[in-house]
Each structure stands twice: as C-alpha cells, then as structure tokens.
Structure 1
Amino acid sequence: MHPVEEPKNLEAVMGLIMHSGNAKSFGMEAVQAAKEGDFEKADQKLEEANEELVNAHHAQTGLLTQEASGEKFEVTLLMVHAQDHLMNAITFLDLVKELIDVHKKVNVRD
C-alpha cells in the first residue's frame, strides 16, 4: 500500500482539505455578514473559520510529526493539493479580516 493511502495518512490529508475548505467557507460567510452590517455574525463566522484552521493544522502537524520521526513517505499530488488548500485558506482569512475591518470603518461613517 502506498504510504499516503494508509488510512491514518489519508485521513490526515483529507482532513487538511476538508477543514481548510470549511475555513474558507466560514470566511466568505463572515465577509457577507460584514457587508450586511452584521458584525457580530461576521466575528462569529471568523471564529468558526479560525477553529477550522486549527483543525487543519492538527492534521498537518500529524503528518509532519510522522515524517520527523523517520516515517518517510512520497509526496503525492493529493498531499500537495491538501497543503495548497491550507495555505490558500490562511491567505484568504488574512484578507477576510482586512475586509471586515474596512466594512466596520465604512459602516461607522454612514
């Protein structure tokens, strides 16, 4: 069996994809709430997004720990895809935070 296809590794890789995708979705919901002036909901969605990022990081840390302990495995397209999801989610949420701040400032002026 290919090391990435081992259940624990596949679970970690799929966890990276799933939790990162959830983080991005919650981030988009946060922006939509901010656009509507519902900053309490925006903050709640941003908190949910951050929780998903923490879950994604746990999956990533598990894989890194395995490799650091000598359990080497080949990097596959699926693993690269999973890491890409995580990095995009992190970048996207950084932008979401800035957009929410802008909406808060514009809302105060209205």
Structure 2
Amino acid sequence: MDEYQEIIMEIITNSGVAKSKAMEAIRLAQNGQAEQAESCLQEGKDELVKAHKAQTRLIQSEASGTAYEITLLMIHAQDHLMSAITIRDLAEHVVELYNRLNRQ
C-alpha cells in the first residue's frame, strides 16, 4: 500500500470511529448517561481531528505540485469524513436535548 492509500485509509478509519462515537453518545444520553455521552462526543471529535489532519496532508501535497488520481476509494473517504462531521454536529444537539429532558 502506498502513502496515498494509507492516508485515505486513515481518513476512512478515523471518520468511521468518529461516526460510531457520535451514535454511541446519542444512545448514552438517551439512557441518562450524560457524562459518558459527553466523553464519547469528545472521543469522536478527537478522531475527526485525526481524519482532518490526514486530509490536510493530501491537500498540502497537492498544493505543492503532487497530483493524485481521484479514485473511488478517495471519494469514499471524503464521503465518510463529511457524513461523520454532519452526524457529530447533529449528535451534539441531540445529546444536549436529552440532557435537558433528563434534568427536568
């Protein structure tokens, strides 16, 4: 596996973990486990930072003149990253709503 594919796999893996952590946070908040939910959201956020850093390495490399072939795997990685970001953003709101309901 070359460096380009390794970076793509990093994006996919970290984004997948981030998405899973966001969904887990919602489940935890639904069960009244606010602190654990917040912890999961933070873990997911940390994974998204890793995925974004990998993506940034590719962007910087391309800006420096290294052209990469746009593969189906790369498109898949970008899709994973964008959906993970969207789900994390939504999960933050859902967790907050569950926390409000559980405090009442």
Which band: TM-score by shorter chain? Answer: over 0.9
**1:38-71: CA deviation from partner (whole Å, max 9, x where unpaired):** 1000000000000000010011011101100000
Report the residue type matching 1:51 in the other structure.
Answer: D
Corresponding position of 1:91: 86
User: How big is the alpha-carbon RMSD for the aligned residues of Structure 1 and Structure 2?
Assistant: 0.9
Supply the distance in 1 between the matched residues of 2:68 and 2:52 (Cα, whole angstroms).
19
Supply the distance in 2 between the matched residues of 1:76 and 1:7 (Cα, whole angstroms).
14
Equivalences for residues 33-52 of structure 1 within 5 A: 33-52=28-47
Tell me the CA shift for residue 9 of structure 1: 0.6
Supply the distance in 2 between the matched residues of 1:34 and 1:78 (Cα, whole angstroms).
34
Q: Does 1:69 align with 2:64?
A: yes
Q: Which has the larger radius of gyration?
A: 1
- TM-score of the superposed pair, with normalisation by structure 2: 0.97
Q: Does 1:108 align with 2:103?
A: yes
Structure 1: gaps (5+ residues): 1-5
Corresponding position of 1:15: 10
> How many residues end up aligned between the 2 structures?
104
- TM-score of the superposed pair, with normalisation by structure 1: 0.92
Structure 2: gaps (5+ residues): none
Corresponding position of 1:60: 55
